[in-house]
Amino acid sequence: MKSYVVGNWKMNFSVGESSVYLHKLLQRTHAYRDIEVIVAPSLIALQPLSLQIDRKKIRLAAQTANPHDFGAFTGEVSFTQLRGIADYCIIGHSERRHLFHESDKQIRSSVASALRNQITPILCIGETDTERTFGETYDVLRDQLLGGLSGVSAEDITKVIVAYEPVWAISTTSDARLASPDEIASIIQFIRQTLNEHFGQEVGENIPILYGGSVKPTNAGAYLTVPGVNGLLIGGASLIADQFTEIIEIAKKVKS
């Protein structure tokens, strides 16, 4: 299975800055057969960057999209409109769930719409600090996972990527709040087992599962060697070319 290194730029960089930054990344990145490097710029930059990108080296992802194909949805952009521009879309990121109140139902519609439009969904799931404290982690993860994927056909499920991002570990500056590789290992095993139970072992075993939560060059190697982790979803460190390219190199080393 390929490894994935995904950079979520969130609401950072102007269109011009995004283009300059992408240029820098393209200069420093090689075309790897076994590593898929993906960046998710803000929506306004996606189309111009799609003309600049070298897809052999880096692919583009949207950070969200509206599941309706067209219509009276002021301010929204649909998966249909992103077709041919982005190859991937992050769906159900914790900021979308918590700041913009996206429900599992909306997220499920987004996963379906992405698949209908040949865009690979990267479905994010993760428990909050409070849910973790109250021992609800596994229930929350199961609900988010199956809530997002129920109804996906046997054929389409093979095109989905899952990202486990504990909300309490996102964008932390404190080492004490980083998720430990052991903790992640048990959770990845649970996610894999849930996928196996619902979609069959052969399919479940082949769905890529990424980890995200304050990944940096100093911890990327440890996270990438957790059994069952097939890549990383990176926020803050993806905005710094030295750090992002170092993480890609680490992924390459771990893979070989």
Look at phi and psi of residue 13 and say left if phi exceeds 0, alpha if psi is from -120 to 50, else beta.
left
Is the Cβ of residue 237 or residue 248 nearer to ligand PEP in the bound state?
237
User: Is there a contact between 241 and 14 (Cβ–Cβ < 8 Å)?
Assistant: no
Question: Of 68-76, 80-88, 197-205, 231-239, which part binds ligand PEP (CB under 6 A)?
Answer: 231-239
How far apart CA 255 and CA 41 sit, in angstroms, is 26
62, amino acid identity: A
Q: Which of 171, 201, 206, 225 binds ligand PEP (CB under 6 A)?
A: 171
Minimum distance, C-beta of residue 90 to ligand PEP, in the bound complex (Å): 8
Residue 234 lies near ligand PEP (rule: CB under 6 A): yes
19, amino acid identity: S
* Assigned token pair, 103: 């429900």
Give SS3 for 39: strand
Residue 156 is given by DSSP the state G
* Assigned token pair, 189: 């095993």
Question: Of 35-43, 54-62, 63-71, 212-220, which part binds ligand PEP (CB under 6 A)?
Answer: 212-220
The residue among 222, 255, 217 whose CA lies nearest residue 234 is: 217
Residue 214 lies near ligand PEP (rule: CB under 6 A): yes
Minimum distance, C-beta of residue 234 to ligand PEP, in the bound complex (Å): 5
Is the Cβ of residue 94 or residue 204 nearer to ligand PEP in the bound state?
94
Known active-site residue 23? no
Residue 233 lies near ligand PEP (rule: CB under 6 A): yes
**Per-position DSSP letters for 197-251, written without gaps between them:** HHH-HHHHTTS-EEEESS--HHHHHHHHTSTT--EEEESGGGGSHHHHHHHHHHH
Residue 92 lies near ligand PEP (rule: CB under 6 A): no
Residue 236 lies near ligand PEP (rule: CB under 6 A): yes
Minimum distance, C-beta of residue 69 to ligand PEP, in the bound complex (Å): 27
40, amino acid identity: A
Single out the catalytic residue among 23, 30, 93, 202. 93
Residues that bind ligand PEP (CB under 6 A): 8, 165, 170-171, 212-215, 233-237
